[in-house]
Structure 1
Amino acid sequence: MISIILHLILPMFFYTAMTTVLYLYLNLGPLEATALSAILVSPVLYYFYSADQRRRGAQASPGFNLHGCLIYILIFGSSLCILGNYIVNILGLTEISVSYKEAENNLYSASFPLQLLASGFMIPFAEEIIFRGLGFAALKEKLPFWLSAALSAALFGLYHGNLPQGAYAFLIGLAVAWLYEISGTLLAPYLFHVSANLLSLLVVNTERLNSLFYTDRRPVLAAASAVVSAICAIRIYQKNNFKEDVV
């Protein structure tokens, strides 16, 4: 329990507290405050992550060897984003969550370039350090892989503060925990997270893409995304398991 507090609850509180301070005292918008907080806390969090890795005897560096999986990771992130959003919508979760509407307004009221920088690149980096590098890795020391992945994904979902984003984040959290486990580097889940977030932002902010994703073609698109996700996961597993092409 103490390990979970030190490796997940405390870093999450630190990140949230920094965001709150920036929001209240610098008169920043919610997205701006969260992005600036990510920039400020990430070096501190990464220091503790590196120390943990050294203690475990694992690599403390980011690890840039993706074993030829770069394109599969990016496609996997995009396809699971489509599938996850379809599941959330088909269950009607967005219609029953008032807090989701508020979160949606906070995110999409910012300028599109800021959304891309903040939600696309900065925030995922901090979240991957907290929930995979520190949280999941600590859980994995004491629990079986899938239980550790499920718990870290559940906490990742709860952190988002509303049912639609929480359900979506749980699905993404399972995928990135598996990616981190099989690749041994935070770079893989980070790139997956970036890919998923960027596609989501592009769909919302681009009228043509938005109309494609919100028509009666959604079931076909979701089914195709499920197939593509499975293919990418298999190829990532194969390449990491047999150490094929090296990036």
Structure 2
Amino acid sequence: MPSILLRLILPIFFHTAITTALYLLLPLGPLESTALSALLCTPALAYIYTKDQTLRSLPTPSPSLPWPRLLPIPAFGAALCLLLNTIITALNLPQNSPSYQEAASAIYSPPFILQLLSTALIIPIAEELIFRGMMFAPFRDKLSFLPSACISALIFALYHGNLPQGVYGFFIGIAAAWLYELYKSLTAPILLHISANLLSVCITNTDFLTPLFAAPTSTTLTITAIISAAISIVCGIWIYQKNTLKEDIL
């Protein structure tokens, strides 16, 4: 257990310390500092993850997978993003969370291209290395799938620092852990994370679905939730059927 706790603390501390140092020492905003930290940390995190797999006497999951097996993941991630944002909006969580408003301002104030590169590409890779590769995987050695996924997803949720993003992060974390379990590769959860964040950035910065989240009604939110839930379920079944597990993940 001490070794597992060390794996939990060190990667987050490493990433957070570098982010803080960049923010304090350079003329960068919170998003730019986080993205640059993720970019700098990713090679080290990937090395530690690979060495950790070796120490645990496990083969390092291959980053390359046949593209047909990955095909439903972007749709799955986008549908989950839409479903979770619809539920969070219906519950008025963003309006009741000043910390979320502050975080959203930091994320969505920079230029659109910077948001795409940071939020939808660079940061998800580092976060999946930390929260799925270096947290979920060691817990999975000791526990069954569900508690391992919930613990890593809960830490991922708390890492975001506010309730709306925490709720979103928890369920995305569960889905990402499930994909890691099925595919035995970080490529799958990274692709899920990227697709979900990509849609979120596009919704915020374009007119795409703006009426839904800018002036939501119970009818539009219900319809959107039903459609996105249906797409999520169909994609989830497709993903499960394309990946044969050697053991019961529950």
- Per the normalisation by structure 2, the TM-score is 0.93
Match of 2:248 in 1: none
Aligned length: 243
Q: Partners in 1 of 2:53 and 2:67 — Cα distance?
A: 20
**Structure 1 residues 185 and 24, CA gap change in structure 2 (3 angstroms):** same
Q: Partners in 2 of 1:92 and 1:66 — Cα distance?
A: 41
- Give the CA deviation at 1:221: 1.4
- Give the CA deviation at 1:6: 2.1
Does the 8 Å contact 2:90/2:221 carry over to 1? no
Q: Which amino acid aligns with 2:9?
A: I
Q: After the TM superposition, which parts of structure 1 deviate over 6 Å for at least 4 consecutive aligned residues?
A: none
The alignment's C-alpha RMSD in Å is 1.6
Give the 3-state SS of the residue equivalent to 2:63 in structure 1.
Answer: coil
- Give the CA deviation at 1:213: 4.6
CA offset digits 1:66-90 (Å, max 9, x no partner): 5622221000000000011111111
Does the 8 Å contact 2:202/2:208 carry over to 1? no
Does the 8 Å contact 1:66/1:183 carry over to 2? no
Among candidates 180, 205, 220, match of residue 223 of structure 2: 220
Q: Partners in 2 of 1:162 and 1:228 — Cα distance?
A: 27
**Structure 1 residues 53 and 94, CA gap change in structure 2 (3 angstroms):** same
Q: Partners in 2 of 1:136 and 1:67 — Cα distance?
A: 24
Q: Which amino acid aligns with 1:241?
A: T
1:229 equivalent in alignment to 2:232: yes
* Paired residues for 1:131-142 under 5 Å: 131-142=131-142
Match of 1:124 in 2: 124
Q: Partners in 1 of 2:85 and 2:208 — Cα distance?
A: 17
* Paired residues for 1:106-117 under 5 Å: 106-117=106-117
Does the 8 Å contact 2:62/2:185 carry over to 1? yes
Q: Partners in 1 of 2:95 and 2:150 — Cα distance?
A: 26
- Give the CA deviation at 1:8: 1.8
* Paired residues for 1:138-149 under 5 Å: 138-149=138-149
- Per the normalisation by structure 1, the TM-score is 0.94
- Give the CA deviation at 1:139: 0.8
CA offset digits 1:185-238 (Å, max 9, x no partner): 000000000000000000010024322454432211111111111111111111
In the alignment, structure 2 segments of 5+ residues that lack a partner are 246-250
Aligned-pair identity in percent equals 51
In the alignment, structure 1 segments of 5+ residues that lack a partner are 243-247
Match of 1:245 in 2: none
* Paired residues for 1:57-68 under 5 Å: 57-60=57-60, 62-66=62-66, 68=68
Match of 2:207 in 1: 207
1:171 equivalent in alignment to 2:174: no
Q: Partners in 1 of 2:181 and 2:62 — Cα distance?
A: 14
Q: Partners in 2 of 1:92 and 1:192 — Cα distance?
A: 25
